[in-house]
Structure 1
Amino acid sequence: MKQLHNQSEVSIVFLTHIRSLKLFPEDNWLVVGGETENIVVYDVNAEAVVNEFNIEAPACYALAIAQDSKLCFSCCANGNVIIWDIRQKQRVATLTGHDDVVSCIDIAPGGGILWTGRIEMDRHILDSRAFSLGCCPTESWVAVGTERGQVNMINIQSGESYVVNSHESCVLSLKFAKSGKYFVTTGKDYLVNVSTTPYGTRLFKMHEDGSVLSCDISSDEKYLVTGSGEKKATVYSIISLSRLNI
């Protein structure tokens, strides 16, 4: 298990609330979406904008990156999911199906299934609105962060499920580590939690200065990035501690 080293952090200030951000697996790039019509691709090392894409909607609430780092999926306030070719700098397709805001998205292992969620409540599935979701890359767990501060952990093969009480209010973002051993959640309560899969045992937590709207973990598990209501992205370095063996 890794632990965050708070002394090694970099903050990047943006001009809007950051609703979602993703690290590219093979580059030092960060794609950021928020309460604006553009999503921005940012080079962390160069501290410069690589590209911008217009989503033709007031906001982008969630992002996903394909495993080959070529495609980006943006979830829009108008209910659409737009697929972008980041390398060719062009729109590939627009997916429809939601009537309102698409609040969360993730790609299942293998890349064949795209999971999306919406803020509208579906009582056949959850008894609280879905604000975030994540697919475990190594097992059949799908985790859904809800308005009530809980994480619903569901095994889509066996039907096994757990409810993790992780936050005092909305779970705004959720991300599994590539190893699948742990996941990160962030909330309106200013907290960043790191918990084990699937039971949700909390390993440690951090407190930021405002609501933490989004998060991501690099594919090598060396970095954690968060986006906040304070209009900044914070990149944390991660160090390995042998005493935390999960």
Structure 2
Amino acid sequence: MRDVTPPSPARDVATSNGRRTLAEEIAVALTYQGSTHAVMMASPTDLEEFAIGFSLSEGFITKTTDIESLEILPHPHGIEARLWLTAPRAAAMAARRRKMIGPVGCGLCGIDSLDAALRPLPNRSATAFMVSDRALLRAALALRGMQPLQDATRAVHAAAFIAPEGQILCLREDVGRHNALDKLIGALLDAGTDPANGAIMMTSRLSVDMIQKTAMAGTPVLCAVSAPTALAVEQAARAGITLACLAGPEKNRLDVFSCARRIITKAPDED
């Protein structure tokens, strides 16, 4: 975070000259086997977890032991996350290699074929996890008070991992919603937490790339404060993922778009 003093306001504009904390945004290069694969604009925090989560959601690894070494190194123009994978995973990565420059608002920039945009996803229909609508609503309410970077800057997204009872077990923030999700996935893997035993809640809209990352992680429920796209609903249904969002003027209702069997409906007095 960085504190700055805004310039003097234009005449007749109702504003102030007080100091303001801004979110940091920095170029992070992800390199594998000595070659740069992607450059993402991200918040310069939790970058090891970001590299792990990105590697899993891209299908380059399936577990942390697929990474032989991981270094976070300063660079004159940003930061490099340098990874070396085991030989089998390096070969698998080469089969799905893509180069992209990914600004914070786009998660599929620069892919080299249309097929890669809608790649086949693992099907999570058999995952037994279930959660009540009241638990997800409680988690959403708690989420608002657990985002220090957002409170300070009003400019970042959060991704949280939710237990069946609604507790927030892990949360990560970033200027990019995709990065926040990758950081969360990486944090879960690094801690040895099975992503299949909880739900993910996002503070952003749900587009198809968020479905892809969730499916790759193995999490069966994805919920957000904003509505999904039509393609996201279609892909979630195909991948066996329960997709939901907060709805209503007070965000006190849950709309479920796919695999609704995992959401247990409870009255407020049943908790």
Structure 1 and Structure 2 fold alike (TM over 0.5): no
More strand by proportion, 1 or 2?
A: 1
TM-score for the superposition, normalised by structure 2: 0.25
Bigger Rg over Cα: 2
Q: Which has the higher helix share?
A: 2
